[in-house]
Amino acid sequence: MGARVVKVERPGVGDPARAWAPPDWGGDGTLFLASNRGKRSLSLDLARLEGQEVAQRLVDRSDVVIQAFRPDVAERFGLTERALRPGRPRLIVCTITAYGSSGPKSARPGYDPLLQAELGLMSLTGPVGGPPVRVGTSVVDLGAGMWAALGILAAVRARDATGEGTNLEVSLQDTALNWVGYHLQGVLASGEIPGPMGTSLPMICPYGAFPTQDGSLMVAAGNDGLFRKLCDALDAGELTEDPRFTTNPLRVTHRGELEALLARTTAVLSTQELARRLEAQGVPFAPVRDLGEVSRDPGVLGGAFRLEPHPRVPGYRAVAIPPVLGGSRPAASRPPPQVGEHSEEILGELGYSPQEVEVLRSSGITG
């Protein structure tokens, strides 16, 4: 969306996420490829004073610094807000931590599944009565990145008004807590602790996946009107008069009975026939698909999942960011970089001569 991003990586191996594979594509793990389009890569050994000096020069030219080291590592590398702020009043420093910068857990390392486990997401995911299940994508990591981006935009707007930068912190713990916020409020309100509900939602019924002859279809009848339309679509109008099902709270109370009655009807229909009936009545629905089916969907291929030029990966596709600005999606300015691909270019911009760059390279400070 207009930012010029420099990713600082260790010389040689680079970001560890490059090796999170298989699957890989062109030598890098697909998790790395999906998260690093549009960035330039500067390889830098931040454990050495010379590398930190380069980083400080880069900070002098930056509006925003984002770092996700443990507090002790950030201190060692000179990347804390306290170390970066002097002489840089307009700088915005964004720190992403696992458990926050203070408190008994602040020094603990954190990864997405650990926070999913500790903050209750796993307890809500999976089949009814089943074991804890990790959400199938890294929602805590991705969510923290989104909150960081939102916070940075707010900090930029505040700087426009005041001329002053600020220190911004986002933690994986707070992000995970935010995902389960309304569930926690439910615990406080009722004293009942929710467990996994498969595809259902605790406070709405019918709201979940129903079996068909050849698969499953997700149905979202989120109010009384849609429930009546669902019953009409299934030729089950008598259910709307059943005193157990006349309101959503009653349907939630009698969830098991209602879902069993509906499933008895949907199971004898093909997915296509059930979809046709629901669409005719205006009932929200979606087929339950795997990612192979998603990757072949013309609607997806014509929108966010698009071909992008890549020098090492013929046919490279990537998912664009969701915002559509002025009627078009922001274009990726460059493919995911190789480790240190832009080091010489960036160092030149920072004022290093070719001879100085060669010294940095030969001494292993950059690569």
Active centre residues (catalytic): 141
Q: Read off the amino acid at residue 188.
A: L
Q: What is the DSSP string of 280-329?
A: HHT--EEE---HHHHHT-HHHHTTTEEE---SS-TT-EEEPPS--BTTBP
- Decide if 39 contacts 361 (C-beta within 8 A): no
- Decide if 348 contacts 58 (C-beta within 8 A): no
Count other Cβ atoms within 10 Å, centred on residue 55: 20
Phi-psi region of 219 (alpha: psi -120 to 50; beta: other; left: phi over 0): beta
Write out the H or E segment, with its range, that includes residue 40.
strand 39-43
3 state SS of 53: helix
3 state SS of 203: coil
Write out the H or E segment, with its range, that includes residue 144.
helix 139-162
